[in-house]
Amino acid sequence: MKLFTLIENTTANPDLVCEHGLSLYIEVSGQRILFDAGQSGAFADNAEKIGVDLTQVDLCILSHGHYDHGGGIKRFLEVNDHAKVYVSQHAFGDYYNAEEKYIGLDWELLSEERIVFVRDNLTLSDTLSLHTCPNFPQVYFTDAYGMQVKRRDQLETDDFRHEMYLLIREGERRIIVSGCSHRGVMNLKTWFAPDVFIGGFHLMKLNPEKEATRLKFTAMELLKQETVYYTGHCTGGMQYDALKARMGERLQRLSTGAIYEI
């Protein structure tokens, strides 16, 4: 499997644009996948610069209904004329951050014929499946960090039912790809027991000094399984460094332009 980081919050390559967002390109079992599309069309510009041909993408997956993952979907649909875009049935909702700023998707995308809504689990091929895990237990506490959803004209804490995960079965290996893991990276590693985990941990709002014990606990729990983690975006820079100090080579950093053979 080959993984290209098309966009992320950081970059070591001055020729590539970075932004608060995530977009990954994956080649596995003869299939070409775009997973998320950042908050703008910059992911497509980066793709061209590093030699990724988005016109050849077979399918696109949107991890959840936030602008920093789905803002570039319109650009993708302009570049690619055939790939379907898979989203949770709850992806188009009234989503807001702690400051009550709208952080959801462009509602105009609802008119796109290539949008496919996923209710629960969906098998895409012998190696690929999508999972929303609506009834999976919250084994570990997760903090919404003020993120909200408007239902019946009332703002309430988001339960992230719009989040969706890609499971890749490559031989005997199980690889999980997540956008932000709002429902908790520790819950996801418990639910799926992956050999490889790719995606954000959503710890960037956690104070690494005041909550050092929580970061230590997270690292210890993640190390209980033989999983290798590739993370960035909403994990947070200082938070990543604190986890890396304990997790060593089991934790790798995603950065715009980074390419991995997994």
What does the pLDDT look like over 127-186, one tens digit per residue? 999 999 998 999 999 999 999 999 999 999 999 999 999 999 999 999 999 999 999 999
- Both tokens of residue 197? 């985990």
Q: What are phi and psi of 174, to 5 degrees?
A: -115, 125
| Domain carrying residue 189 | 2-261
132: three-class secondary structure by DSSP: coil
Report the pLDDT value the prediction gives residue 21, as an integer from 0 to 100.
98
d(CA 86, CA 159): 20
Q: What are phi and psi of 73, to 5 degrees?
A: -60, -40
Would you give per-residue pLDDT tens digits along the chain (262 residues)? 999 999 999 998 999 999 999 999 999 999 999 999 999 999 999 999 999 999 999 999 999 999 999 999 999 999 999 999 999 999 999 999 999 999 999 999 999 999 999 999 999 999 999 999 998 999 999 999 999 999 999 999 999 999 999 999 999 999 999 999 999 999 999 999 999 999 999 999 999 989 999 999 999 999 999 999 999 999 999 999 999 999 999 999 999 999 999 9
Closest among 39, 98, 87 to 65, alpha carbons compared: 87
d(CA 230, CA 13): 19
- Both tokens of residue 49? 């610069």
- Both tokens of residue 207? 């104070």
Q: What are phi and psi of 252, to 5 degrees?
A: -120, 150
d(CA 76, CA 61): 11
Report the pLDDT value the prediction gives residue 56, as an integer from 0 to 100.
98
Number of domains in the chain: 1
d(CA 167, CA 192): 8
Q: Which residues have CB under 8 Å from 52's CB, separation 6+?
A: 4, 6, 25
What are the Cα distances from residue 204, in Å, to 40, 77, 100, 102, 116?
21, 30, 18, 19, 31
Burial of 101-137, coded b for 16+ CB within 10 Å and e otherwise, reads eebbbeeebeeeebbeebeeeeebeebbebbbbeeee
Q: Which residues have CB under 8 Å from 120's CB, separation 6+?
A: 131, 132, 134
Report the pLDDT value the prediction gives residue 12, as an integer from 0 to 100.
85
d(CA 72, CA 79): 11
Question: Could you tell me the CATH number of the domain that includes residue 186?
Answer: 3.60.15.10
Q: pLDDT by residue (tens digit) across 26-36?
A: 999 999 999 99
Distance of CA 123 to the CA centre of its chain: 19
Report the pLDDT value the prediction gives residue 245, as an integer from 0 to 100.
97
Q: Which residues have CB under 8 Å from 211's CB, separation 6+?
A: none
| Reduced 3-state DSSP string for 168-237 | EEECCEEEEECCCCCCCHHHHHHHHCCCEEECCCCCCCCCCCCCHHHHHHHHHHHCCCCCEEEECHHHCH
Report the pLDDT value the prediction gives residue 236, as an integer from 0 to 100.
96
